[in-house]
Each structure stands twice: as C-alpha cells, then as structure tokens.
Amino acid sequence: MSRLRSGTVRVRFTILYAVVFLVSGVGLLGLTFLLSAGNISSTAPAGNPPAQGSLAAAQQRIRQLDDQLAAVHAQQVRQLLAGSLVALIVMAVVSLLLGRVLAKRVLRPLRLITGATRRISADSLDRRLAVTGPADEVKDLADTIDELLERLEASFAAQRRFVANASHELRTPLATMRASLDVAVAKPDPAASTVALADRLRTHLDRVDHLLDGFLVLARSQHGGLADAALVDLGDLIAAALRERSADVQTKRLSLTVDMPRGTETHGSPALLARLVANVVDNAVTHNANDGWIGITGCTSEEATVLVVETGGQVLDQGDVDRLAQPFERLGGERTGSSGLGLSIVAAVAAAHGGRLTLLARAEGGLRVSITLPVAKVPVAA
C-alpha cells in the first residue's frame, strides 16, 4: 500500500503522457481517414463526340472503370484504417513505456530528496541535502528543507545546551544546601527534629542530584559525542552493575540467571555504556516483586551485539510499555523514587552508539528489555 501511494505521482504522469500521445494519434488517424475517404469524380473524355453505338459502349466502359476504381479505393481505405489501428495500438503500448520512463526521470530528483530526508534523524540534523543543478522548483524545495534542518539543528542544540548548563548550575546550590545541613547537624547537641529534618532533606537532595546526573548523561548521549570510544565488554559491565545492586537483590530474594558469553563486546564510550547497563539492571531490580526473577543474556553475531534483560511480574500493556523509553514516563504513573529517566537514557545511549532499545511486554507477565548495539570492530588485546 505504501509503495502504491508513493508511486501515485509517477502513475499520473505516465497516464498523462500516454493520453496526450494517444489523443494526438487518434486526431492524426481521423484526419488521414477524412482526407483519403473522398469520392472519385468521373469526367467525360474531351474531343469530338463518338458515334451513337460507340458512345453507349464507352459509357458502359467508364462505369465499369469507376466501379473498379471505387472498389480499389475502398480496399485501400480499409487497409489504411486497419494499419493505422494496429500502429495506434503499438504506439499506445510504446507511449505507456515511454511515459513511465519520462515520469521516472522527471521524479528522480524528488525521490533522491525524499530518501535523503528520511535518512536524517534527530541525531543527524547536521546533514544537508545540498542539491546542485539549475535554479528550478526542485532546487527551491531542497534549499527550503536544508533551511528547515538548519533551524531544527539550532533549536535542538540550544535545548541540549540549556539542559546541560542548567544541570551544572543547579549543582552549586545543592552542594551549598548539603553543606548547610552538615553544619547544622554537626553542632553540639542538635535537636532530634533537626536531625530528622536533615535526613529527610538529604534524601530529597540525593534524588535531585540523581535527576540532574540523569539530565547530564541524557544531554551528553544525545549530542552523539563519543570522544572516549573504546572496546567495551558488556559482561564486565553486567558484573559490576550486579555487584552494586547485590544488597537489593538479596533483600528482595530475587532469582538471578546470567548468561554472558565471552566476547560479548561493542565499541563505544565506556562511561555511557556503563550507565546504560546500570540503568537496565537498576530497572530490573527496582521494578521487581519480592521472590521474583531476573534473566540476563547476551550474544554476538556478525551484525550486532544483543543484550537482553527479562523480568517476571504482572502482565503489562504493550502501549504503556512503549512509552517507557520517553523521559519521565512510568507504568501507571507510579513514583517509586525513580526519576523516570532510566530507560530514556538507555534509549539515548543506544542510539548514540548506532543501536536501539526494544521493550516488549511478555505474554506471561513482566518485561523484556533488548538492547542491540553494533558489533565490536576492534580486536581484543591479549
């Protein structure tokens, strides 16, 4: 259906060219038929009138010749008409083929513009169509799209700079507030209410600090800057993330299964990939029920490296699960201390490395998180 819709203009051009050609051919055929369908008039021979007997014979002979000439003329007209109809049918087929070729050639610049525009995403707004050629309508369209991309790039860059700068600037007052709490609690014999208030404020400050850290990582990953790119073993990152959350795993009595073969590697930023893995593991532990389970598997093929983290639980709606890759989205609007940036950071980091995040609600209940990353191109050092 999409291919039919995309080829509508080409079909219209093909039909238009063919109809114009056929109308011209039919007009030419009709004009030829009219000019060749005239009657042959008979004329009396000039000179002295012949005798009475010879006159009758001559007139009879003239009538015979007229009949023969009319028959020959009618036969020629029929042959001309039949040949013209055959030629018209042949040229109709030829006109359709030529019309399709001409329409394809006329629409070729538009197809190139459409393909180039589709390849430009939010992470590659610096690319331009840069169509060369005469200053016609097609070039005007391409230049307009380039100007739109330039404005979008400036808008996205300004937004990311604002998030990064705001996150950095907010760390200073947070540090000041944390220091003030420490000073208040460090005084001799602080009141119990002061200590309790300081503990609650520290919890909220830690949450805000974690949120700002998420903003910074999200902004950095969306910039696509991988200056520290190196060969990264996802198995090592999984092991480190599980060690960090081992206490929570034991507290919830989670059953853990890990199958990460050696060589499950990719090439990218170690810091960003470590955050990606940590967020996936954190999501699996935090949003899991007591006595639940977590399954972590990895595999590497010639095309990509795939990391899969599955958890059990209640049956989820796929529509709600699809929204989890967006910032501040939570299932059912629940707020369990999570900033709502975990999986959105995973999606942004995966996209910055040329990969993708896939979320699937398991039919048996729970969530399946699949991360596809480019396979490592650099050999592992001994």
pLDDT in the model for residue 43: 44
Query: What CA dihedral angle connects 304, 309, 314 and 320, to 10 degrees?
Result: -50
What pLDDT score was predicted for residue 340?
66
Under the banding of pLDDT at 50, 70 and 90, the label for residue 268 is confident
Predicted pLDDT of residue 174:
81
Q: Could you tell me if 228 and 269 are in contact, meaning their C-beta atoms sit under 8 angstroms apart?
A: yes
- Give the model confidence (pLDDT) of 300-357 as tens digits: 888 889 999 999 888 888 888 888 877 666 665 554 445 567 788 888 888 888 889 9
**In the predicted model, is pLDDT for residue 114 greater than 70?**
yes
pLDDT tens digit sequence for 186-210: 888 888 888 888 888 887 787 777 6
Q: Cα separation of 330 and 365, whole Å?
A: 17
Instruction: Kindly indicate whether the domain formed by 137-223 is annotated with CATH number 3.40.50.970.
Output: no
Domain ranges of the chain: 2-38+57-118, 137-223, 230-374
pLDDT at 378 over 50: no
Taking 70 as the threshold, does the pLDDT of residue 224 lie above it? no
Q: How far apart are CA 242 and CA 284, in angstroms?
A: 11
Q: In this structure, are strands 356-361 and 367-374 parallel, antiparallel, or unpaired?
A: antiparallel
Q: What is the pLDDT of residue 357?
A: 92
First to last CA, the chain: 53
Give whole-number Cα distances, 366 to 8, 66, 254, 304, 319, in Å.
44, 99, 14, 25, 14
> What local confidence, expressed as pLDDT, does residue 256 receive?
92
Average pLDDT over residues 46-68: 72
pLDDT at residue 211 tops 80: no
Segment among 238-252, 267-281, 290-304, 331-345 with least mean pLDDT: 331-345
pLDDT band at residue 252, thresholds of 50, 70 and 90? very high
As a whole number of angstroms, the distance between CA 137 and CA 189 comes to: 80
Say if residue 166's pLDDT is above 70.
yes
CA-to-CA distance for 268 and 271, rounded, in angstroms? 9
Mean confidence (pLDDT) of the chain:
78
Any idea which fold 230-374 has?
Heat Shock Protein 90 (3.30.565)
Residue 11 has pLDDT above 90, yes or no: no
Q: Any residues with CB less than 8 A from the CB of 131 and at least 6 apart, and which?
A: 109, 112, 113, 138, 139, 142, 143
Q: What is the mean pLDDT of residues 232-241?
A: 91
Cα atoms in the 13 Å half-sphere on the side-chain side of 77? 16
Q: Which of 18-32, 197-211, 213-227, 241-255 has the highest mean pLDDT?
A: 241-255
Each residue's pLDDT tens digit, 72-84: 877 877 777 777 7
Q: 119-164, pLDDT tens digit by residue?
A: 776 667 777 887 777 777 778 888 888 888 888 888 877 777 777 7
In contact, 58 and 45? CB cutoff 8 Å: yes
Report CA-CA distances (Å) from 296 to 9, 194, 235, 240. Answer: 50, 44, 10, 14
| The pLDDT of residue 298 | 92
Contacts of 364 (CB under 8 A, 6+ apart): 312, 315
Rounded to 5 degrees, what are φ and ψ at 295? -120, 125
The pLDDT value recorded for residue 225 is 57
Kindly provide the residue ranges of all beta strands, DSSP E only, lying in the chain, ordered along the sequence: 230-233, 255-259, 265-268, 293-300, 304-311, 356-361, 367-374
Q: Is 21 exposed, middle or buried (0-12, 13-18, 19+ CB in 10 A)?
A: middle
Question: Residue 51's pLDDT band (boundaries 50, 70, 90)?
Answer: low
- For residue 368, the model assigns a pLDDT of 93
pLDDT at 31 over 90: no
Query: Is residue 12 over pLDDT 90?
Result: no
Q: What is the pLDDT of residue 370?
A: 94
